[in-house]
Amino acid sequence: MTNLITAQISTPKVGYISVLYLAAVSSLLAQVCSAVKREDFRTCEQSAFCNRHRVFAETMLKKTQALDKGSTIPQTASPYSVLENSVSLDGHTLVASVQHSEEKIPLKFELSFMESGVVRFRAQEEEPLTPRFDDTQKLVLREEGTALPYASPGSIELVTEVIDKVTTHTVSYLKGNSTFSVRMAESPWSLDYLVDNKPTIRLNTKGLFRFEYLRQKPASDEADTASGEWEEKFKTWTDSKPNGPESFGMDISFSGFEHVYGIPEHSSPLSLKDTRGGDKNAYDQPYRLYNLDVFEYELDNPMALYGSIPFMVAHNAESTVGVFWMNAAETWIDVTREKSNTLGSLFSRGSTKQMPAVNTHWVSESGVLDVFLLPGPNTADVYRQYAELVEPTPLPRAFSLGYHQCRWNYIDQEDVLSVSSKLEEHEIPYDVIWLDIEHTDGKRYFTWDSAKFPDPTAMQNELARAGHKLVNVVDPHIKRDSAYRVWKEASDNGYFVKTRDGSEDFQGWCWPGDSNWVDYFNPDACKWISEQFHIDHYNQSTENLFVWNDMNEPSVFNGPEITMDKDARHHGGWEHRDVHNIFGMLYHKATADGLRTRESPSKRPFVLSRAYFAGSQRYGAIWTGDNTAEWSHLQASIPMVLSNNVAGLHFIGADVGGFFGNPDQKLLTRWYQLGIWYPFFRAHAHIDTKRREPWLLGEPYLSHIRDAIRERYRLLPYWYTLFREASITGMPIVRPMWIEFPLETKLFAEQDAFMVGSAIMVVPATDSNTNQVIDVAFPSQENWYDIKTHASYIGPAKRQFSVDLSTTLVFARGGSVIATRERHRSSSDLMKRDPFTVYVYVGRNGTAGGRLYVDDGDTYDYEQGAFIERELSFSEAKLTSRASTQTKDTPAYQEYLKKMATVRVERLVVVGLRNPLTKATVAENGVTREIELSYRGAANDAECVVRDPAVHIGEDWEITLS
């Protein structure tokens, strides 16, 4: 971040810079080029509520261990019990009063069953002293939480019985052949989610549940400031804590599991590590969720980064389950593993198999305890259940899946157009060129530096000629300048976040110097900021302009941990602490709403954001922030992108090339070769780095990079089809191996290889020694085909490959059908009517299947049925194309079919056919033709090519090989 400030003050247009600002800048300058300043960010010990819960946990874990005798009902030292006669079943919700043995403040517990088997557990004081922030549900859940499909009361049954001398209440819900039940023990309080009578997700079985009830502040000399309950200091900042302690924590154990994933954003491995020290591989800090602008972040670290998704998934060979802890305040999560827990003997059904568990401990600073338990039982179920809560990723604008060329900064209009024409000259397709903060008039967003950009409209129109788009950065801080219309309007209308006593606008520093922040919790302010993106407000913007929201954690250079003070006030009187992790998402939403409503009829927006929360997938893409041009960062980008996909945030990528520093040609080449497999594919670089557009690297690097980018474009139909699938099923786009091969225990922690959808396995080369040997483990009893050479391999097997910079290891899975577009164009927009090539990768049993989804890529007409979605299935040497079951014969469908009437399949390639065949019989609309086959390659790896079968993409047809 410091480098960024250096650059900022060296621009001529900064204007007023306060003395204080300069002092801070010079202290920050000392950090230039150093790694993360850990001391700028709190550890759990330095975060009072985290520390209180962790200390409590240490004592409880010891006590509970001493009590645990391996009984069905957990024996813990928890001080919380259900009050006698307080349990009742109200429709789909079990209600109970729970109390601490000494505190005597009744807490209301609610357990609700949803139709899918998801259980929602909520807890807060029965009568809180002041209301707790409970709008997270409105901001995160589908239809503001009003439309959650709860189970019908008749399908639920409550049984109260005494087990192991403990009174228990079991709510059971029958679904299909499974029984889902939640068993609550009265004293001490604990809760087991049982699937077919076997505990999977378990709450408070370690006794770590602790709820800090809201209380009156004691007389000032008694108020406990030492433990940070009523005031907390960090470096030079004081957090006034007007509500005192209000945090809560709880242990959640995953019984029978060894691996948990998700809870991004961290730069840590895919399979989450233990966090309570001990093992040399373990962290000694919990995973932290608190959106922060971390300068030069460290790898392999549970420190917080720019985004937070409190969704964790556990997987074993029998099932997949999930936990969604819906809280927008600062949250910490400890993870530990038990090799064998005492439940083992009770539930291993007579076998001597040990039962492992992953124990997690979640702690949030404020708000309401609101957690969803997702029972699976398989991965697709978990993603359906999660998408039902927070909505899946909607279909993005098609161009946004292409290549994005970014840098801080393309200097001026001429530079932009010259980069664009250079890419064209070198036959490198790209879709979007980006402008960073320097394009503005002194960091006043929605304006242009008119000396550098004399005619932005002409520039956008010129880009549009070849289907290219422009993205401008529009950050959330607003320069305090009464001559700046945007600031003036927001200030006059009272739209800014306020200081702790609500009397003034909260002020801080960011790129423009003194700034204010629009309060997105104020609906009027949101509507107003959305309108700023409309073409009549955003001067010299066109429909060809899209937006990048950066610094929206929010980043406040002079704030505690480089963010907003926790006691700043939002609309409704809420403290920033209550809503911190959701702030960035609301700006992302407001921007996307603005772009969506700027045209009529609406078009899909494209907005990239740095900060995020659960639900951000609805508003656009995310990138992993300021990485570094080092091999280790290239490697770390894989688990980062996968962890987000596991947590339902699909449209994500890392800056290709690394933001800080100068990658050498090899690193940059390898980064492109991996980057084409990120769902969001953008090259970006810091202002102090050397220019690194692909043609500047010279040969052979330029050719390797061109090949990689073209491979992305060739497969755009596959990517778009995957996004379509995700928009319906919630399934990740890029997938850890365990998602596709759920029984292969050896792959549960694999992150050196991953799947793109279910048909492509990528084994990236990420070593600085670019001539290396890479081990590939081909999973499952299936054929795998090198996607370029079509050489085939049979899994399960391990093979070693010697690679050099020209080699990438990418394999198509036998049994898949993939549609591609293979003509080179300078943008995806120009490919919209191009013909397709269909690849059939024959599976072991001689069959294959896949899907192709196409629509106009821009509008919402697909919601009216204006799309083509084909099921492509191959068996007995015949490829059939049929409309998918989603296809509906609506007027919009018919109209779209007409538009696409001439779009055809220009080639069919069947890979892995054993029998030599000679001809293809093509049948479409009652007309039959024969075409001679041609073969390429050696016997076993032969590919058989049907040239120009000329079948139409919107029609039913069959191609039979004989």
Q: Which residues are catalytic?
A: 550, 626
Residue 865's contacts (CB-CB under 8 Å, 6 or more residues apart) are 887, 888, 889, 890, 892, 893, 896
Binding mask 458-477 for ligand NOJ (x = CB under 6 A): ---------------x----
Distance CA 464, CA 858 (A): 14
Least Å distance, CB 550 to ligand NOJ, is 5
Distance CA 83, CA 933 (A): 78
Strands (E), 379-524: 403-405, 432-435, 469-473, 477-479, 508-510, 513-517
For residues 831 and 768, is the Cβ–Cβ distance under 8 A?
no
Residue 659 or 678 having the CB closest to ligand NOJ = 659
Q: How many binding residues for ligand NOJ (CB under 6 A)?
A: 11
Least Å distance, CB 758 to ligand NOJ, is 32
553 scored as a contact of ligand NOJ (CB under 6 A): no
Distance CA 908, CA 212 (A): 65
Least Å distance, CB 655 to ligand NOJ, is 7
Residue 193 or 306 having the CB closest to ligand NOJ = 306
Return the residues of window 316-335 that contact ligand NOJ according to CB under 6 A.
none
Measured N-to-C along each axis, helices 716-729 and 701-714 cross at an angle, to the nearest 10 degrees, of 50
For residues 14 and 441, is the Cβ–Cβ distance under 8 A?
no
Return the residues of window 675-694 that contact ligand NOJ according to CB under 6 A.
684
Strands 403-405 and 432-435: parallel
Least Å distance, CB 553 to ligand NOJ, is 10
Other beta carbons within 10 angstroms of residue 188's beta carbon come to 24
Q: Is residue 176 left, alpha or beta, with left meaning phi > 0 and alpha meaning psi from -120 to 50?
A: left
Binding mask 592-621 for ligand NOJ (x = CB under 6 A): ------------------x-----------
Measured in whole angstroms, how far is the alpha carbon of residue 50 from the centre of its chain? 25
Binding mask 4-43 for ligand NOJ (x = CB under 6 A): x---------------------------------------
Residue 437 or 463 having the CB closest to ligand NOJ = 437
Least Å distance, CB 502 to ligand NOJ, is 30
**Cis peptide bond prior to 700, omega within 30° of 0:** yes
Mind giving me the DSSP string for 233-268? Answer: EETTEEE--TT----EEEEEEEET-SEEEE----SS
The number of helices, as runs of H, and strands, as runs of E, in the chain is: 17, 51
- Supply 103's token pair: 């505190």
Phi and psi, residue 435, nearest 5°:
-120, 125
Residue 95 or 411 having the CB closest to ligand NOJ = 411
Other beta carbons within 10 angstroms of residue 894's beta carbon come to 12
Residue 8 or 807 having the CB closest to ligand NOJ = 8
Least Å distance, CB 662 to ligand NOJ, is 15
Least Å distance, CB 687 to ligand NOJ, is 7
For residues 924 and 951, is the Cβ–Cβ distance under 8 A?
yes
Find residue 190's DSSP bridge partners: 185
For residues 622 and 147, is the Cβ–Cβ distance under 8 A?
no
Among 5, 437, 614, 667, binds ligand NOJ (CB under 6 A): 437
Residue 3 or 319 having the CB closest to ligand NOJ = 3
Among 449, 626, 855, 906, binds ligand NOJ (CB under 6 A): 626
Residue 435 or 913 having the CB closest to ligand NOJ = 435
Residue 377's contacts (CB-CB under 8 Å, 6 or more residues apart) are 178, 195, 318, 319, 320, 321
Least Å distance, CB 529 to ligand NOJ, is 19
Nearest-CA neighbor of 142 among 849, 730, 733? Answer: 730
Residue 7 or 60 having the CB closest to ligand NOJ = 7
Find residue 307's DSSP bridge partners: 612
Residue nearest to ligand NOJ (CB): 408
625 scored as a contact of ligand NOJ (CB under 6 A): yes
Least Å distance, CB 396 to ligand NOJ, is 20
Nearest-CA neighbor of 125 among 243, 251, 288? Answer: 243
Least Å distance, CB 548 to ligand NOJ, is 8
In angstroms and rounded to an integer, the radius of gyration of the C-alpha atoms of the chain is 28
Residue 334 or 655 having the CB closest to ligand NOJ = 655
Least Å distance, CB 623 to ligand NOJ, is 8
Residue 14 or 466 having the CB closest to ligand NOJ = 14
Least Å distance, CB 637 to ligand NOJ, is 15
DSSP collapsed to 3 states, 638-701: HHHHHHHHHCCCCCEECCECCCECCCCHHHHHHHHHHHCCCCCEEECCCCCCCCCCHHHHCCCH
Among 431, 441, 550, 567, binds ligand NOJ (CB under 6 A): 550
Find residue 779's DSSP bridge partners: none
Residue 296 or 334 having the CB closest to ligand NOJ = 296
Among 297, 408, 671, 784, binds ligand NOJ (CB under 6 A): 408
436 scored as a contact of ligand NOJ (CB under 6 A): yes
Residue 281's identity, in one-letter code, is: N
Binding mask 835-874 for ligand NOJ (x = CB under 6 A): ----------------------------------------
900 scored as a contact of ligand NOJ (CB under 6 A): no
Binding mask 641-660 for ligand NOJ (x = CB under 6 A): ------------------x-
Residue 435 or 951 having the CB closest to ligand NOJ = 435
754 scored as a contact of ligand NOJ (CB under 6 A): no
Binding mask 114-153 for ligand NOJ (x = CB under 6 A): ----------------------------------------
Strand, coil or helix: what is 829? helix
Nearest-CA neighbor of 29 among 557, 652, 477? Answer: 557
Distance CA 820, CA 852 (A): 9
Give Cα separations from 902 to 897, 899, 949, 953 (angstroms): 9, 8, 13, 8
Chain contacts with ligand NOJ (rule: CB under 6 A) = 4, 408, 436-437, 473, 550, 610, 625-626, 659, 684
